[in-house]
Amino acid sequence: MKKKILISSGGSGGHVIPAITFYDHLKENYEVFLTLDKRGSKFINEKKYDFEIISSPRLSFNIIQLPFTLIMLIISIIKSIFFLKKKNINILIGTGGYMSVPVCIAAKMLNITIYLFEPNMVIGRANKFLAKFSKKIFCYSKEIINFSEKEKSKIVIIDTLLRKEIYNLNNYTKEEINNKINLLIIGGSQGAKLFDQKIKKSILDLSKKYKLMVYHQASSLDLSDLKFFYSENNIAIKLFNFEENIFEYLKEANLAITRAGASTLSELTFFRVPFIAIPYRFATDNHQLENAINYQKKDCCWIFEEKEFDQNKLTTLLINIIENKEDYLNKKKNLEKISYQNTWNNINEKIISSINEN
């Protein structure tokens, strides 16, 4: 009889994408279930994946909200206990975030084996709390900030998780940056006002000097305004939001401006797209900045901190990248060094062997 595994996720696309990737890695060998919260259900293909909703409260320690938060947390734990027992779950994989807390607590109460996933260079607060309950923690690095020394022996290093369909798109030829600038702009799974509104001058300046094609991931609220801006200035554009397939744009892009979520940087690395990272300045424990710094140390990217954002400086940086190609080509080569061993089978074997350990 196959072991039954539950993957618990929710919140943003940065949590849900790894969850469905784990699902695809495990479904051939185990009976696999998915739970999400309502927020996370926006980032999954309902026709492809079955899942159930288990809502979880945001873990606020505000004195006024604390009683309500505790009541909702207890309700979520009770619902999780019923779900885990009903499905006879043997193993739980939590992909981080407050959404995982009640399900992991319920699993601990039922003596269910717990695995965690931490893709960032700063351990998430939920994972930091849950680490002591876990058997193993899948990570991309042993140098994660704020990781308890007591729990470091639980780390299993894997290559960056990528959706299975990405590996089928690896045979392609990118245009050289001197022929055409295929600029990819990624504001994250929920878009970003900074990317929709404050970099337009830089794009306009760039379009006057070079042949430019822009692939712009935008908030659905800003799509009409951006469409007008690009049309008015005769800039070639493909606008999309999170729900649309980003892989074709990653294939075409030869330069990117992006937030620094772990999943996004992993995909840019695999497609060998040098990028300017503008980390979200309010990310918990500044983990996006630390993610970007990790790639900067490997000479794969440029970092432009949001608190220092200036459109003229961004324009200057973009022009320098295009005109001084040695730095650009070096970063592209370094991205290739990181990604060339990343295969579906290598990761699959590592995950399954870790789960099958006694």
Q: What percent of the chain has pLDDT over 70?
A: 95
Structure tokens at 274: 């040098």
More confident residue, 36 or 68: 36
- Which of 47-51, 152-156, 208-212, 253-257 is the least confident region? 47-51
Check residue 168 and give its pLDDT: 82
285: left (phi over 0), alpha (psi -120 to 50) or beta: left
Over the range 275-291, which residues count as b (16 or more CB within 10 Å of their CB) and which as e? bbbbbbeebebbbbbbb
**Per-residue pLDDT band at 243 (split at 50, 70, 90):** low
Task: Note the pLDDT of residue 119.
Answer: 96
Mean pLDDT within 335-354: 94
Tell me what pLDDT residue 274 has. Answer: 97
Each residue of 300-320: pLDDT tens digit? Answer: 999 999 888 889 999 999 999
Range 35-63 average pLDDT: 81
What pLDDT does 358 receive?
60
Q: According to the model, what pLDDT value does residue 341 have?
A: 85
Say whether pLDDT at 208 is over 70: yes
Q: Which domains does the chain have, with CATH numbers?
A: 4-159+343-356 (3.40.50.2000), 167-339 (3.40.50.2000)
Q: Is the pLDDT of residue 269 over 80?
A: yes
Residue 237's CB is within 10 A of a number of other CB atoms, namely 19
What are residue 8's DSSP bridge partners? 35, 94
pLDDT band, very low/low/confident/very high, at 244 (cuts 50, 70, 90): low
Q: Would the pTM count as exceeding 0.85?
A: yes
Residue range 149-174: mean pLDDT, rounded: 89
Q: What are phi and psi of 136, to 5 degrees?
A: -140, 155
Higher local confidence (pLDDT), 169 or 51: 51
Per-residue pLDDT at 146 exceeds 60: yes
pLDDT digits (tens, 9 = 90+) for 288-303: 999 999 999 999 999 9
Position 330 scores a pLDDT of: 96
Mean pLDDT of 84-92: 97
Residues 238-247: what's their mean pLDDT? 77
Axis crossing angle, helix 262-270 with helix 325-339, rounded to the nearest 10 = 100
Average pLDDT of every residue of the chain: 90
Confidence of residue 326 (pLDDT cuts 50, 70, 90): very high
What does the alpha-carbon distance between residue 117 and residue 90 come to, in Å, rounded to a whole number? 17
The answer, yes or no, to whether residue 189 has pLDDT greater than 60, is no
